[in-house]
Amino acid sequence: MISQLRGRSLLTWLDYTPQEVTFLLNLSRDMKERYYLGERVVNVHQGKTLLLIFEKPSTRTRVSLEVAAWQLGMRTIYSNPQELQLGRGETIEDTARVVSRMVDGVAARVFSHTTLVRFAQYSQVPVINALSDECHPTQVLADALTLWEVKGRVNGVKVAFVGDGNNNMAHSLIAIGARLGWDIRIVAPKGYWPSRRYVEDAEDVGRRTGAVLTVTDSIEEGVKGVDAVYTDVWVSMGMEKEAEERMRIFKPYQVNQSLMNMAGEGAVFMHCLPAHRGLEVTDDVIDSPRSVVWQQAENRLHTAKAILAALIR
């Protein structure tokens, strides 16, 4: 499987088969087990370089990628567009042509997913999506590892995403869940439902994996009996002008104790972080024993190592 993945970009899980996603998930778990046995440095990419281009601030994604690269023997170069010629008008395509002749991989956090697509088309090395407005593939692989750890299984996990069903986390959960055979429920107000691209893909892949996708505006219908309740911020970076309207629309979808009680005793709480406490989630939920958000955050490191180990040539 490594030979199939070597040199591939990761822009969205839509481009990967169920078998490839399962392989990377297993590799992530193996990386974590080896980490806790004391094998912190693997050195499979000794002397190679990863370029990080971040249009947006980052904590978990940047730290996990930098530490993962170092533990694989790579060095990293961190930059934002203003520090590159991108900031002075060089095209995305020209930047990709240049830097991909010098580095072994690029991880980019961008406002527009189209930027990643254009960059990858002209890059000679793998391009990894470190977050775009469409999806967040590195985060959701860590979420899948967390669910495997806390629920003891991968296939058949029931996950309810509550909030903005048209955001990058909802799309990512749909894509990876379809490939892992999940029961995925998007619980969102009408008008904030997922992109048809992701819905149609889940329906197609689900015929092979047994995955089921439900999209509803009913909180009780969506969260009843799930293994996990997942939420994300209501106002992402770049949406500040919509903040007031979004907070009004999503207020009934706040994850609080009442909602967690609807889900049932076995449900854990998940969040990709950073959390806006008191908005999409209350303190008594995120700080409760049912919360696995810190486990999710740690798993970003182990899944980043797996992705880099498998994709970088």
Query: 272, 290, 296, 302: which one is catalytic?
Result: 272
Residue 287 confidence (pLDDT): 98
272: annotated active-site residue: yes
Asked about 196 being catalytic, the answer comes back as no
Task: Give the Å distances, CA to CA, from 210 to 179, 184, 248, 279.
Answer: 9, 11, 36, 34
Question: Which of these is catalytic: 136, 171, 185, 290?
Answer: 136
Angle at 126 between CA 124 and CA 127, to 5 degrees: 110
Tell me how far apart the alpha carbons of residues 228 and 220 are, in angstroms, rounded to a whole number: 14
The pLDDT mean for the chain works out to 96
The mean pLDDT value for 124-128 works out to: 98
Catalytic residue flag (residue 300): yes
% of residues, the chain, pLDDT over 90: 92
Q: Which amino acid is at 111?
A: F
pLDDT in the model for residue 162: 98
Is 139 noted as a catalytic residue in this protein?
yes
Give the tens place of pLDDT for each residue, 40-99: 888 899 999 999 999 999 999 999 999 999 999 999 999 998 999 987 899 999 999 999
Query: Residue 179: is its pLDDT beyond 80?
Result: yes
Instruction: Determine the pLDDT at residue 243.
Output: 87
Q: Are 73 and 18 in contact (CB under 8 A)?
A: no
Residues 6+ apart with CB under 8 A from 220: 262
* pLDDT score recorded for residue 131: 98
- Of the candidates 232, 246, 290, 302, the residue annotated as catalytic is 232
Active-site choice (185, 246, 300, 302)? 300
Q: pTM to 2 decimals?
A: 0.96
Strand partners, 105: 50
Q: What is the pLDDT of residue 109?
A: 97
Q: Which of these ranges, 166-170, 243-247, 274-278, 291-295, has the smallest mean pLDDT?
A: 243-247
Q: Is 276 a catalytic residue?
A: no
Per-residue pLDDT, 2: 82
- The yes-or-no verdict on residue 1 having pLDDT over 90 is no
Relative orientation angle of helices 60-71 and 293-311, to the nearest 10 degrees:
50
pLDDT at 239: 73
Q: Which position among 113, 135, 139, 185 bears the catalytic label?
A: 139
Q: In terms of C-beta density within 10 A (0-12 exposed, 13-18 middle, 19 or more buried), how is residue 197 classed?
A: middle
**Domains of the chain, each with CATH number or no CATH:** 2-135+300-311 (3.40.50.1370), 139-296 (3.40.50.1370)
- What's the Cα-to-Cα distance from 39 to each of 30, 32, 34, rounded to whole Å? 11, 9, 5
User: Average pLDDT for residues 285-311, to the nearest whole number?
Assistant: 98
Q: Which of 45, 109, 185, 302 is labelled catalytic?
A: 109
